[in-house]
Amino acid sequence: MILGIGSDLANIERISATLDRFGDRFKTRVFTDVEQKKAERRRDVAGTYAKRWAAKEACSKALGTGLAMGISWKDMSVSNLPTGQPIMHVTGWAKDRLAAMTPEGYEAVIHVTLTDDHPWAQAFVVIEAFQSSEAKKINNGGV
């Protein structure tokens, strides 16, 4: 069952200007160490940050809160599987919110997709609940 859907569109040039203006202060406030390392290794640094920004916004919308109610930017983070597929991790209040919206006997799986076409970066997040045994297969790449 679908528990939540979120999308966001971020302007790469706006993120680039924010990076130029605030630098490390912006990066450390919004992005985890893993996200920063990934972005700093990429040719399109601003585009990488913009996609992750959009993913955090989309995730907060899928959680039904937006960036309110105590969710921190770092409570949501994006990393990549060896195949390159992005995956969303939630901690803190975002993890608590996810647990609260997941029915008993079910486990939530967060799907995320990222794309960009300069000057835009876009993310979609779908939160899906599966009966616990089925979720284990999905989280381990078995479906």
Which pLDDT tens digit goes with each residue over 22-74? 999 999 999 999 999 999 999 999 999 999 999 999 999 999 986 666 678 99
As a whole number, mean pLDDT of residues 93-101 equals 95
- Long-range contacts made by residues 40-48, C-beta under 8 angstroms, separation at least 24? 44/12, 44/116, 45/19, 46/12, 46/13, 46/15, 46/16, 46/19, 47/12, 47/116, 47/118, 47/121
Residue 90 confidence (pLDDT) above 80? yes
Q: Which domains does the chain have, with CATH numbers?
A: 2-139 (3.90.470.20)
As a whole number, mean pLDDT of residues 97-123 equals 97
Whole-prediction pTM = 0.88
pLDDT of residue 139: 63
Share of the chain above pLDDT 90, in %: 85
pLDDT of residue 130: 93
pLDDT of residue 138: 63
Q: At what angle do helices 45-62 and 33-41 cross, to 10 degrees?
A: 140
Q: What mean pLDDT is reported for the chain?
A: 92
pLDDT of residue 71: 74
Residue 134 confidence (pLDDT) above 70? no
pLDDT of residue 68: 63
